[in-house]
A and B are shown apart, each in its own frame.
Chain A
């Protein structure tokens, strides 16, 4: 157990809907990163938050957005869901910014119908 928690565990949505995924970082960690993992692929970086500011973004459209709160927990929001958004969404926390070990939560499995 890494101490990183995510909710919900599973989610089913229909195309065009909006979804919010939540993550609580490990105690003492101020950096949260979000990844999308499609079946059979490695995780792909969506974005990272450090002290409530976005610090780096991957190749994802603006309908993917996020927040980090003062307690370092984080949300990932996805608008106008598409079928290809079906994936495992992973949150990872780390104690500092660059180059550090990242510890993953259990993930949220999103299915878009």
Chain B
């Protein structure tokens, strides 16, 4: 059973702090990793994709991938109340389909 695990939270951080969201996955052969943000009542919005080991930065967001440890994380710097949402980790496991396996999501609360 291919799985993606996330802590459901809620993760609560003060405004301006760094929020750290973590995700582990079961298939060592996985190639593609994605972070989606989902506001309550809305659909998931792609915010980061990462394909190779290391860090990838985009504005206030940094995705980190460690394939040896089967671990991917998302850092949000200078967190804002508008970042309060559920963050979904998604993995495209090895194979020739585009099937994404999602974690259950981590709820982030940024307090003013």
Contact A33 B102 (CB under 8 A): no
Asked whether any CB of chain B lies closer than 8 Å to the CB of A68, the reply is no
Size of the B side of the interface (Cβ < 8 Å), in residues, is 26
A61: B residues at CB distance < 8 A:
none
Residue A65 lies at the interface, judged by CB distance under 8 Å to chain B: no
| B interface with A by C-beta (< 8 Å) | 4, 31-32, 34, 36, 42-46, 49, 51, 88, 90, 92, 95-105
Q: Can you show 23 pairs from A to B with CB atoms below 8 A apart?
A: A33-B99, A33-B100, A35-B100, A40-B104, A41-B104, A41-B105, A42-B90, A42-B102, A42-B104, A43-B44, A43-B102, A48-B97, A56-B98, A92-B100, A98-B97, A99-B31, A99-B51, A100-B32, A102-B46, A102-B98, A104-B46, A106-B42, A107-B43
